[in-house]
Amino acid sequence: MYSYDLPYFADSSELFARIADLPQAVWLDSCAQFGSQGRYDIMAAEPQLQLRGTLEQLEIRTPHGHYQQSGDCFGFIAEQLAALPRELPQNLPFCGGLIGYFAYELGTGLGFNRVKTQQPNIPLDDINAGIYAWTLIQDHHSKRCWLLCLKTCPAAVREDIQRRCRSAAPVAEHGYRAGHFSANMSRAEYLAKLAVIDDYIHAGDCYQVNFAQRFSAEFSGSALAAYNQLRRQLPSPYSAFMQLDRGAILSHSPERFLRVQGERVDTKPIKGTIARGKTPAEDQALAKQLQNSIKDRAENLMIVDLLRNDLSRSCKLGSVR
């Protein structure tokens, strides 16, 4: 493992701009400069191994070519990760490895979704991830920045990333344009589907439905510029930007989905929200209103029960609290 101290950037967008032009650039963003919840930002690019495809068929790309991998994709990924060094210098959260996304629709093939979901008609792979040999880590508590490189990372790459991070700020990013957002169903269709769900609930056939609609718009310009605009307006401690071969992922979430540390697994959902008041007194009154809401308390209890059940599928019997 190679470790290099680099200049610290209070706004991580200034650091990411220095590597954003590299292939498959990714940024796990804590939005720390906007609040107290974030600490680490993780950035990488130029994966030594890129994986794209489905549960049954992966296209593997390397700097030397590409090939197809059939069968158990998670088993293949586990083999690749097992070959990486496991040292984490200075107790940092990441030193190289897998970063990417796994689409919601994969749940059907894994047995989590009992009803086959409708394909989203978005030209993105079910799996798109990379195994990265170098990583930039920003620690906003200690105000330090590091470049961490696996031993498989070539010296020329290590030198290039250091030069980029120590150089003057790059040329300002291009802008973007987004058209009017429209839903994939009309108001009448939306209400009709809600009525069907209500019938299912009253019949006892289900007690929760993840019902959502998709909004889309014509877009042109820089996806990174759009992401930076979003993070300024909606800073969230679990945010991410991924530049893909086709398009990009712009993700913002206030919720911790899963955190695994050794043999401990944590999840931290947020259910039940309300507007902020204009004064501390209004804030307290609204908080009390939320705490006394029968609907919101019921939803919280339901989510806790669902998460207990989900974690119990993987955790030791009786260990979930």
User: What residues are annotated to the active site?
Assistant: 255, 271
Q: Phi first, then psi: what are they for 310, rounded to 5°?
A: -65, -45
Strands (E) located in the chain:
2-6, 26-29, 40-44, 49-53, 57-62, 65-70, 97-102, 127-132, 134-139, 144-149, 176-178, 182-183, 215-216, 219-221, 239-243, 248-251, 256-261, 264-268
Q: How far apart are CA 164 and CA 136, in angstroms?
A: 12
Measure the CA–CA gap between 240 and 242, rounded to whole angstroms.
7
**CB neighbour burial string for 40-68, b if at least 16 within 10 angstroms, e if fewer:** bbbbbbbbbbbbbbebeebebbeeeeeee
CB neighbourhood size of 163 (10 A): 10
Who contacts 142 (Cβ-Cβ below 8 Å, separation ≥6)?
none
Rounded Cα distance between 68 and 12, Å, is 36
Total residue length of the chain: 321
8 Å CB contact between 24 and 130: yes
